[in-house]
Amino acid sequence: MEHYKVGEIAEKIGVNVETLRYYEKIKIMPKPKRKESRYRFYDELDLRRLLFIKRAKELGFTLKEIKELLNLKIESTATCGDIKHLAEHKLTDIEERIKDLKNIKNVLIKLINQCVCEEVSTEECPILEVIEQKII
Amino acid sequence: MEHYKVGEIAEKIGVNVETLRYYEKIKIMPKPKRKESRYRFYDELDLRRLLFIKRAKELGFTLKEIKELLNLKIESTATCGDIKHLAEHKLTDIEERIKDLKNIKNVLIKLINQCVCEEVSTEECPILEVIEQKII
DNA sequence: ATAATATCAGTAGTATAGTACGGAGTCAAG
DNA sequence: CTTGACTCCGTACTATACTACTGATATTAT
């Protein structure tokens, strides 16, 4: 079994050491074993857990949600369906965010297209006018 | 000219009183006039500024960016083109976020579709397996 | 006049996800 | 054996956008 000091595993994962201590503090990572020196020592399991966290983060899960996923994972009563629920919930969440952003995008495009004036003062800027009066 | 006490204007805008004090503190709102009682008194200009802030927030601008917009607005040397730049910047920003979210969405959909197992334990959950091994 | 409501200022706390710092102890290389 | 790099812990700070709380005034309603 491989062992890593905090700096080693941090580099392997691509986060910084403080982040690992932070993860420990918020209990998304378990307390690692220690050497006599009191230095943290991480093993392969920790490495896999950290990679899981990293990937789940890339999927838009928050640390809190990732903690839930990890807890379900070790709860023997939890089913794969429980995990699916969390994923589905996250999906609607993300779809909602995409929808909102698309609306915002469309309004911004309209605003920008109304503006053809490089040299006009902000007094007459159609963008500002629109924001002010919410014409759109 | 209409006048509003802090609670009145807060209700009109739909934010709470503390938020107004906060906006004052971060200097996105100017210090309002005071009555002899030291109570804040807001006028139509303040109301319009607050509505502007609210709408710009709905367009995805941060308070910091809104402050910039408002500052450009009063800078007599600023042009409408300067405003356009900010809007364009925000647009690419938002497009980027949409792109990222769409990627996440696709991965989540794939994950969810792989899972047909309501009663299977988390030991064999394909979602977790995929996150763990990043097969996708 | 009294009670209820509003406002005041300043400070602290919330959530999210970390980052920075400082002084002390430990490890590895020359 | 000393120097530099690494790690320890606790605390404080960052950014964003607020929200909550306290004890003292002020205003409004009955």
Amino acid found at B48: R
**E strands, B53-135, in order:** none
Handedness of CA A65, A22, A70, A49 (dihedral sign): positive
Beta bridge partners of B79: A121
Amino acid found at B80: C
Q: Percent of chain B scored above 70 by pLDDT?
A: 96
CB of A45 less than 8 A from some CB of B: no
Task: Give me the pLDDT at residue B74, please.
Answer: 82
Instruction: List, edge to edge, every strand of the sheet that includes B33-34.
Output: B4-5, B40-42, B33-34
Is B112 within 8 Å of A88 when comparing Cβ atoms? yes
Spatial distance between the Cα atoms of A114 and A125, rounded to a whole number of angstroms:
9
Mean pLDDT on B43-70: 93
Higher per-residue pLDDT: A87 or A123 = A87
Q: In the numeric block, which tokens belong to residue A81?
A: 């369906």
Is B115 within 8 Å of A84 when comparing Cβ atoms? yes
Name the least confident of A107-111, A120-124, B102-106: A120-124
- What domains appear along chain B, each with residue ranges and CATH number? 4-78 (1.10.1660.10)
Q: In the numeric block, which tokens belong to residue A22?
A: 């932070």
CB of A78 less than 8 A from some CB of B: yes
Distance from the Cα of B12 to chain A's closest Cα (Å) equals 16
List of chain A residues whose C-beta atoms are within 8 Å of the C-beta of residue B104: 58-60, 94
User: Do residues A132 and B54 touch, judged by C-beta distance below 8 A?
Assistant: no
Complex confidence, ipTM: 0.81
How confident is the prediction for chain A on average, in pLDDT? 89
Q: Tell me the CA–C1' distance in angstroms for B29 and D22.
A: 25
Higher per-residue pLDDT: B132 or A29 = A29
CB of B56 less than 8 A from some CB of A: yes
Is B105 within 8 Å of A119 when comparing Cβ atoms? no
**E strands, chain B, in order:** 4-5, 33-34, 40-42
Distance from the Cα of A35 to chain B's closest Cα (Å) equals 28
* Tens-digit pLDDT profile for residues A34-90: 999 999 999 999 999 999 999 999 988 999 999 998 988 888 788 888 889 889 999
Beta bridge partners of A33: A41
Task: Name which of A76, A90, A132 is nearest B52 (Cβ-Cβ).
Answer: A132
Task: Name which of A94, A102, A128 is nearest B108 (Cβ-Cβ).
Answer: A94
With a 7 Å cutoff on the CB, does B19 touch strand D? Answer: yes
Spatial distance between the Cα atoms of B47 and A38, rounded to a whole number of angstroms:
59
